[in-house]
Amino acid sequence: MRFAVSDTRWTVCAGLEDQGPAESFSSLDRVFELTGPLASKGAFCHVIRVRVGDRDYYVKRYCPQGKHVRKALGRDHAETECRNLAYFARLGIPVPKVVARGSQRTLGLLRRGALVTEGIPLSTDLQTLACTRPDLFHDRRWLSHILGLVADYVHRLHEDGFAHRDLKWRNILVTTGDPPRVFFLDCPSGRHTSGPSLRHSIIRDLAMLDKSARMVLSRTIRLRFFRRYLGRTRLSPEDRALMTRIMTFESRRRWLAVPQSLNL
């Protein structure tokens, strides 16, 4: 049995017939040579926007951080995110089209990875919309439609035992069409779970959404969103207790982070 010192796996998805994108994303090396405006940056990855022909593409490049053991045992985020996006699509949740993905390992350790997705025309993430188009959030018809879609999509995930684990407004795209559409993206940490872990993850997902929502939406509208998520017209005492836990999730987490020596 041969042992590969360096193993690169790269897949260009079917349906990429245009010569420009097929050439630009033909290999992992080629993808890491691309340049473009920085769209976002995290601790272990960054995203650039690349214009090829008449379309925008988003190139997410992963560079693992940490000790060797962590690299060896860590998940391939590019592959995991691709798999999660495909799972969302099977549930009927709109997602960006994956164009290419892959990773490279050296001596079994994950060295780098990338995921390329096609941009959604005329779309903006919810967080940016809240800053640039506050008038939309005063449009009751638009807001009801968008929050209804988000609530339904999140419910589908949780009902199937899946936790997003990074469900922030910046990871939800909204198109400007009529009617507007909602797309989910950026989910390298999502996973299926069960029991107390699932319940905690559900509260965390909803708390992430509420953290951004409370800056823009009234408590009444946030309550309406929660009812839509649960599929209820009225909340039971148990539902209200759960909503209280969601709305106080951040403050409780900050309190738990305080060193015990300061708790007098």
What is the pTM for the complete model shown?
0.88
φ, ψ (nearest 5 deg) of residue 5 = -65, -45
For 100-135, what is each residue's pLDDT tens digit?
Answer: 999 998 877 888 999 999 999 999 999 999 999 999
Task: Indicate the CATH number for domain 6-118.
Answer: 3.30.200.20
Distance of CA 95 to the CA centre of its chain: 10
pLDDT at 17: 61
pLDDT at 64: 72
CATH 2.40.50.140 assigned to domain 123-257? The reply is no
For 131-188, what is each residue's pLDDT tens digit?
Answer: 999 999 999 999 999 999 999 999 999 999 999 999 999 999 999 988 999 999 999 9
Say how many C-beta atoms besides its own lie within 10 A of residue 229's C-beta. Answer: 21
pLDDT at 74: 60
Domain residue spans of the chain = 6-118, 123-257
CA-wise closest residue to 192 among 83, 76, 40: 83
Please give the residue that has the higher pLDDT: either 4 or 145: 145
Beta bridge partners of 151: none
